[in-house]
Structures are given as structure tokens and as C-alpha cells.
Amino acid sequence: MSWTYQKIGHMFRNVSSVSRSTPVAAPRRPQAPSTAALPRRLYRSSVGKKAVMAVTGGILVLFLVGHMLGNLKVFLGRADFDHYAHWLRTIGEPALPHRVFLTIMEAVLTVAVILHMWSAVSLARRARQARPVRYAVRPKAQEHRYATHVMRYGGIIILLFVIWHLLDLTFGVVNPKSGGAEPYDKVVADFDPSRWYITVFYVIAVVMVGLHLKHGLWSAFQTLGWGRQRRYRGLHLFADVVAALLVIGFVAVPVMVTIGVVK
């Protein structure tokens, strides 16, 4: 039996009723197959960039779950909350020196945030260039999901919030208490009823995070290749539940301080 090659391309079009004398853009050639290292190969393609977003996003979600559970210790009282905050600095002792585990975690999170944003900015730019002329009638969103629509702007709002949040409760720059104060005191002072607008700001920011995850979580599974018709309902449900639980868990602390349950 002789083996020959069968072309799969059979979709040649003829453009009827229009002369082809108009200049048509020359075919763009892709780059030669790369023998570069894995990170570079990954970062070359739009799909690879999305995978970077999915994995770094996953790291950040895991952090958020831990962060939220830690926050809830505020309801167990001052001693428990402050003890937990100090424990974060002593994880791994005596095998690890003081604060080494926490520093590694901070470094991983910083790298994750940078890679996540780098991919997002790069893909957003590509998308902008891919449609230079906009539609006169705004395309009707067939699958309209608010969460999907606000991924990019929501991401910027979340970034600004994270900067504020670090200046507030980590470094104490914009907190009524100084950076060296006990964590419990900083939280209670921050969300004091007189500073209700700070609480409102936190609630809005956390809801933005929730919306970001409502799309981001299931989208990460899709990007990493696990999306199938039969799994979509489950993936959406998982994303919605995780997003909702995180929002409730995070909002609980500032709101309870402001209404005076936690003092």
C-alpha cells in the first residue's frame, strides 16, 4: 500500500463580484519553530500566556482562601487573632529562620501577580490591535455575563485596592495605628464606624474580586484544557460558590467591626 499525503486544506474561496485588484495584506509568517526553553516557548503563544494567567491566578486564589480563613480568627478574639498573625512569622521554625517562610510566600505572590498582569496586559494589547475599527452597533453580548465583561477593568481596580490594602494593614501608612501596632488594633481602628467609607471601599473591592473569580476560576480550567461540555455546569457552580464564599468571608470582618460586633 502506498502512503501519500492528503492535504487537509480544502477551503479555497473565490470572492465573487469583487475584483481582486485591491491590495491585500501579504501573508504574515509565524516565527520559526522555537527550540527555546519552556518559559519562552510558553510565552510565545496567546494560549501559553493564558496558561500563565491560569496558573498564577490559581496560586492567588489559594492564597485568598488562606487569607480569608486567617481573617475570620478575628471573631475568636484579640488573643487568637494576634497569636495567628505572629505564628505566620514563625512557620517552619526552628528548621527555618524567623519569617523565612512568610518571605518566600510574599516573593511567590509578588511574582504571581506580576506574571498574571504581564500576560493580561499583553493579551489586552493584542486584542486591541486585532480590532482597529469598532462596530457602529455595539455587538450584542449573546453570552452576557457581567463578570466576563469587567475582567480587565476589574483587575485594575483590584490592583489599586491591593496597593491601598498593603499601605493600610501591612505597612500602616494609611492606618490610624502605626505599622508596628498589634494586628487586632489595626483592624478595629481601620473599620471604626467613623471611617465607614473605608468599609464601603473594602466591600466594593472584595465584590470586584468575587466577580473576577466568578469568570476567572472556571476560565482557568478551560484554559488548562479541562473544559468539556459535560463539566461546564459543575465548573461554573464551583467558581460561583468559591467566589461567593470568599466575598462573604472577606466582607464579614470590616462590616462586623463597623457595626460594632467586633471591638
Partner 1 sequence: MKLTLKIWRQRNAADKGRMASYELDDVSPDMSFLEMLDVLNERLIIEGDDPVAFDHDCREGICGMCSLVIDGTAHGPQRATTTCQLHMRHFKDGDVITIEPWRASAFPVIKDLVVDRSAFDRIIQAGGYVSAPTGSAPEAASIPIPQADAHDAFDAATCIGCGACVAACPNASAMLFTAAKITHLGLMPQGQPERYGRVTAMVDQMDAEGFGGCTNTGECTSVCPKGIPLETISRLNADLLKATAKG
C-beta of 40: minimal distance to partner 1 in Å? 10
User: What radius of gyration do the chain's Cα atoms show?
Assistant: 25
For the chain, report the end-to-end CA distance as a whole number of angstroms: 84
**Least distance to partner 1, CB of residue 105, Å:** 26
CB atoms under 10 Å from CB of 36, counted, come to 11
Q: C-alpha cell of 190?
A: 481601620
Q: Does residue 3 interact with partner 1 by CB under 8 A?
A: yes
Q: Does 121 bind partner 1 (CB under 8 A)?
A: no
The yes or no reply on residue 5 touching partner 1 (CB under 8 A) is yes
CA-CA distance, 194 to 201, in Å (whole number)?
14
**Shortest Å, Cβ 205 to partner 1:** 22
Max Cα separation, the chain?
A: 86
Range 17-46, binding partner 1 (CB under 8 A): 17-18, 20, 22-25, 27-31, 33, 35, 38, 41-42, 44-46
User: Which of 57, 183 has the CB closer to partner 1?
Assistant: 57
Question: Buried b / exposed e across 160-175, counting CB within 10 Å, b at 16+?
Answer: ebeebeeebbeebeeb
Distance CA 137, CA 241 (A): 35
The one among 92, 179, 193, 225 contacting partner 1 by CB under 8 A: 225
Contacts (CB under 8 A) with partner 1, residues 57-116: none
Closer residue to partner 1 (CB): 104 or 124: 124
Q: Give the SS3 label for residue 54.
A: helix
Candidate list 94, 95, 143, 263; residue touching partner 1; CB under 8 A = 143
Give the three cell numbers for residue 174: 494609611
One-letter amino acid at 190 equals D
Name the minimum Å distance from CB 236 to partner 1. Answer: 11
Measured from the Cβ of residue 187, the count of other Cβ atoms closer than 10 Å reads: 23
Among 94, 139, 180, 260, binds partner 1 (CB under 8 A): 139
Which of positions 163-222 make contact with partner 1 (CB under 8 A)?
Answer: 215, 218-219, 221-222
